Amino acid sequence: MDAKWDSSPIGTCVSNFLIHCGRRLLIFVYSQSTLSNQKVEWDADRSFHSLREQQVKQCHADFLNVQRHIGLRQLLFAFLMALLMRPLPSFCEEFDWSIGAYAGQYYDSEPAGWTQGRANYLDQYMVALTASKTIWRSQTLPMSVEIDGMIGQQSGIASLTEIAVVPVLRWSSFPWRDKLQTDLRLGPLGVSYTSSVSSLERGTHGRGSQTLGFLIIELAFSRPSKQSDEYFMRLHHRCSVYDTINNYGANGEDYFAFGYRRRF
């Protein structure tokens, strides 16, 4: 019976119909699988771009948050420091020695009083010779260390001689150096000796000291094309270093001076 069914026209038609339906089913399954894979790939690509966009938005939000917390002043300060920390250009000259002179007038306020308009200048003056020697120079920063010495004569209210020596840190790079070479010199840890105790340095009980601490703060200027000729203004300060040398209650001496030095 099975043989007769298979060889009959009806059996042949049914077999062909089943084969055709099977082929259509396979094509349908394959097409659906392909579309599903394409959809997965499209969804993955869309998810990637969406995640990237979210990351960019988050970075921008983080930057705004940092800027809000740090503030514009701190950002400008960091930018300025980045400019100052640049290495010296190759055309900057290097010098190992200097010799010069300066003159100034005594004022009776604390060292920074002249910057705030509170300095009371008295009839006490000083003329001094100064010399320096560079003992160290950075290879990557515009910075060096010098030993600075001076000998000066004071006159007016009190007449005496002063000698002093101080290690000085020199910073030689500012953003406007192409127009005006500017150097900052700081020497906070020196020692000074006078031939006698000045009446301007005596405390409430009339006591004073010939040997005191010595500090200088200096701004020096020169032409970029001729840095060997340097003009400067200097704060010249003698003190007991917060009463560590003595506790006589005297301020010491402060002179605001202008000078010139030749570097070689």
What's the half-sphere exposure (Cβ side, CA atoms, 13 Å) at 201? 29
pTM of the full predicted structure? Answer: 0.66
CATH number of 97-263: 2.40.160.20
Distance separating alpha carbons of residues 173 and 182, to the nearest angstrom = 7
pLDDT at 183: 98
Residues 187-214, mean pLDDT to the nearest whole number: 92
Distance separating alpha carbons of residues 16 and 12, to the nearest angstrom = 6
In 74-120, DSSP assigns E strands to 97-107
Contact 104, 256 (CB under 8 A): yes
Q: Do you know the residue count of the chain?
A: 264
Q: For the segment 103-148, what is each residue's pLDDT rounded down to a tens digit?
A: 999 998 777 676 777 788 999 999 999 999 999 999 999 999 999 9
Whether the predicted pLDDT of 64 surpasses 90: no
Domain residue spans of the chain: 2-68, 97-263
Interior angle at CA 148, CA 144 and CA 151, nearest 5? 165
Distance separating alpha carbons of residues 3 and 129, to the nearest angstrom = 132
